[in-house]
Amino acid sequence: MTGGTVAGSATLCVHGGTPPDPQTGALVPPLVQSTTYAWPDLDHPPAITYARAGNATVEALERRLAALEGGGDAVCFGSGLAAIDAVLRSLPDGARVVAGRHLYGGTTRLIRRLHASRLRVDEVDSTDAGLLEAALGSPADLVLVETPSNPTLRITDLRRGARAAHAAGALFAVDNTFLTPLYQRPLDLDADLSIHSTTKYLDGHDATLGGAVVVHERHAGKGDSPTGPLAARLRWIRKASGSVLAPFEAWLTLQGSKTLHLRTREQWATAARIAAVARDHPAVGRVHYPGLAAHPGHSVHRGQATGDGGIVALDLGDIESAREFVSALRVFTIAENLGATESIATHPASMTHADLAPERRREDGITDGLVRLSAGVEDPGDLEADVAQALDLARRQRREVVA
């Protein structure tokens, strides 16, 4: 692709932000693996002087992510949590943050343990639009939500959330990791920030750690400055804190993003099949999946997203049943990640959300029997059969124990 306006998301996955290299014509963006850059003389510094201040490969990834999200700018970081940390660091001391109750466990830990002493933090169940609007009846500086949430896939109404946040004078930030820009574009719904752990679907191969903040056009700005537009402030924070994304990680993520539309199409379809199997299985007490009509917030979700995602969470009742189920899986791998080509089973209570108090986990539906499944790109029939046989075995073993 050499020019013109491109609207198709699949085309943006392959070409967005990365025209052929002007020097060599290379279709794959060059990997610029350098920490420092030569100055012609003391009066004429280069555009980039040092790796913390920028990198051409990272900037190529930023352009692609901004194109996919329909944003005005993007800033990449060393991890998804580093991206959220930078957003929080951009707030002044004493700022009020309204944080969704159903956030990734690492995000909750970051807010509570590293920022609560500097910021005023109120946790609110953002999936209840009335509660969120009530919390924003007084001024705020930032609202941070995640939808669908990790791991119970709770849904927050992004249009109403953005309106309420802006009425309170706050930025509205959305963790969009689970659906990717292909199936949900928060900035189009008037959010200010769309945040990603690029480690997940955007990379898609269990190969890199990274994060990104894509900002609405009204917050875009070049360079890095502690007092400039939000994008410039985030770059300055990245430079000052050293929370940079490595060039090789950015290069791999660029390559992974080229197949995002192909991978997720298969993963979404497989997840729907798994959800249907689990919904009708006697070993499962509850299925969490936004594509099911009975899922809380289903209609809101369908009104703001164009896909249901590749994650299904199954509540098997207790830790013993969860342990038996994951141990019986043959194609899924037990691990702490999601969105990869490999199918992964995660036990949130002992893995991703272990830092939350047990009573808090139970209140949020993260029971000891909850297992999160991330559908990969293996044969859908193999994955469906794997879940079915593991559920059958777990149920038989539990019935034998009870008997």
3-state secondary structure 59-127: HHHHHHHHHHHCCCEEEEECCHHHHHHHHHHCCCCCCEEEEECCCCHHHHHHHHHHHCCCCEEEEECCC
Give yes or no: 52 in active site. Answer: yes
Tokens of 323: 């342990």
- Measure CA 319 to chain center: 27
Identify the bridge partners of residue 357 per DSSP, sorted by sequence position.
Answer: none
Give yes or no: 289 in active site. Answer: no
Q: Which of 89, 154, 200, 286 is catalytic?
A: 200
Beta-strand runs (E) in 157-207: 171-175, 193-197
Helix (H, G, I), strand (E, B) or coil at 402: helix
> DSSP string spanning 222-289?
SS--TTS-HHHHHHHHHHHHT-PPPHHHHHHHHHHHTTHHHHHHHHHHHHHHHHHHHHT-TT-SEEE-
Give yes or no: 118 in active site. Answer: no
Q: How far is it, in rounded angstroms, from Cα 361 to Cα 152?
A: 11
Q: Which of 21, 37, 52, 360 is catalytic?
A: 52
> Can the peptide bond before residue 46 be classed as cis, meaning omega within 30 degrees of 0?
no
Give yes or no: 200 in active site. Answer: yes
Q: Computed from CA positions of residues 143, 186, 249, 221, in that sequence, does the dihedral angle turn out positive or negative?
A: negative
Identify the bridge partners of residue 195 per DSSP, sorted by sequence position.
Answer: 175, 213
User: Could you identify the residue written with the tokens 């994060």?
Assistant: 211
Tokens of 295: 């899922």
Tokens of 304: 């703001």
Do residues 386 and 329 touch, judged by C-beta distance below 8 A?
yes
Q: Which of 73, 85, 101, 104 is catalytic?
A: 104
Collect all residues with Cβ–Cβ distance below 8 Å to 78 and sequence separation of at least 6: 209, 210, 211, 243, 244, 245, 246, 249
Q: How far is it, in rounded angstroms, from Cα 147 to Cα 361?
A: 18
Q: Computed from CA positions of residues 260, 266, 268, 271, in that sequence, does the dihedral angle turn out positive or negative?
A: negative
Q: Which of 85, 141, 157, 175 is catalytic?
A: 175
Q: Phi and psi (nearest 5°) for 346?
A: -130, 140
Do residues 317 and 369 touch, judged by C-beta distance below 8 A?
yes
Q: Which residues are catalytic?
A: 52, 104, 175, 200
